[in-house]
Structure 1
């Protein structure tokens, strides 16, 4: 939520500024009038109490790891509705909060990475998909098959998927292993029911990526974006790496799957 990020930055800077002004000016005045038993102003007292906490949260959330909750089924079977995940914020470079401007480059996304980003047509939202196409790649999707640079990916059928809780709607879909170059992962497909709107061929421009959901017939991804089919590098927020909780609704009302706690994201 961008409003939370803005509020966190404003409160941290504000409380820090109050402490700085107090140290430079107000504290000296109070010391000069010490005989009057003058107490510390309430604003300074609150700033002293909250600034360290706010600063730690801001640094961790902006530069180390940020939590997100999965709201949809687009990344099933690997990420389920209600999964709480952690995202590595420095994997693709150190970025400033709010503006997301990269100030220190680190590495670039690899094919198969699960990334959180701001979609170009909805910049106030955070989405999660898998990187399929790298800059310069030719991506094709025809029928139920993904093509990368003219080569069809290979698949192994692992059986019929049985969903639970909010994911029960996908029961009956086919669970497959998809062999991306250098990365094997699972996908869901309703074999033989390919959506014609999601078929086509695309060439990924420099500095951009082609992303897809693992739930191939239920994902609003690069195949369906109309203004541009590609994710700009500057829209990346980080790399998803860990599920730390699975819980439907507030206070875990509804489904709760403890076995997913601590699961790495492949």
Structure 2
């Protein structure tokens, strides 16, 4: 047997287990049914100007530990509760399954944690009786997912704890003034950044309070789909 033939056999012997190993890693951590990452495409504009319709975003499933919703291939092992649990924080951009529609994935931002009192007053978010810091960034105009044009005010909102992000205010909406929501234990209050274009925890029949077990993961990266249509940073 020549040296070349011996080398080819060694390479073949190395190649097969390596491919199998990489395939298992992909299945466990990268595939939609894995335990590591998952890629989504934004279906709506409820999270503008952070995530636009058609944008892609990647979540990390381990951020809050694993439950039956984040550990899809092992869901039967998690009838209730989470393992390796870590609590979401105000400002986290998250994917979850709402209690009224547990078969659908939603993307929103956590603004209230257990024990918080949340209320909207004249379009301004209040947490525990205090208006959240909000800086006006001026009037903006942009195209929506239906081919129309949206006129709105752009703000930078800063939550207790320091999380900062931009929001849109389209005008006087029915969710600009709400009752006081007292976030129960093991539940979270979420909202869209496009405040007048989001069905979120302000709408109990659609989202309501999000149970801790229902979080799928935390958004780690966003991948813009149409940079020319985005509002400037």
The TM-score range, normalised by the shorter chain, is: 0.7 to 0.9
Alignment of 1:1-266 (within 5 A): 55-61=24-30, 62-95=34-67, 96-98=71-73, 99=75, 101=78, 104-164=83-143, 166=145, 169=148, 171-181=150-160, 182-191=162-171, 193-195=172-174, 199-226=178-205, 229-246=208-225, 256-257=226-227
Q: Runs of 5+ in structure 2 lacking a partner?
A: 1-16
Equivalent residues of 1:162, 1:168 under 8 A apart: no
Residue deviations 1:87-110, cap 9 Å, x none?
011110134325283653142101
User: Normalized against structure 1, the TM-score is what?
Assistant: 0.68
* Distance in 2, Cα, partners of 1:198 & 1:223: 10
Shift of 1:184: 1.5
- What is the aligned partner in structure 1 of residue 11 from structure 2? none
Q: CA deviation at 1:51?
A: 6.1
Structure 1, unpaired ranges of 5+: 1-47, 247-255, 261-266
Question: Computing the radius of gyration over CA atoms, which structure comes out larger, 1 or 2?
Answer: 1
Task: Tell me which of the two structures has the higher relative contact order, counting C-alpha pairs closer than 8 angstroms and 6 or more residues apart.
Answer: 2
Higher-helix-fraction structure:
1
Structure 1: distance between partners of 2:168 and 2:153: 6
What TM-score comes out, normalization by structure 2 length? 0.77
* CA deviation map 1:17-75 (0-9, x unaligned): xxxxxxxxxxxxxxxxxxxxxxxxxxxxxxx9996565333211322210000000100
The count of residues paired between Structure 1 and Structure 2 equals 203
Q: Distance in 1 between matches of 2:154 and 2:62?
A: 32
Distance 1:148 1:103, change over 3 A: closer
Output the aligned Cα RMSD: 2.7
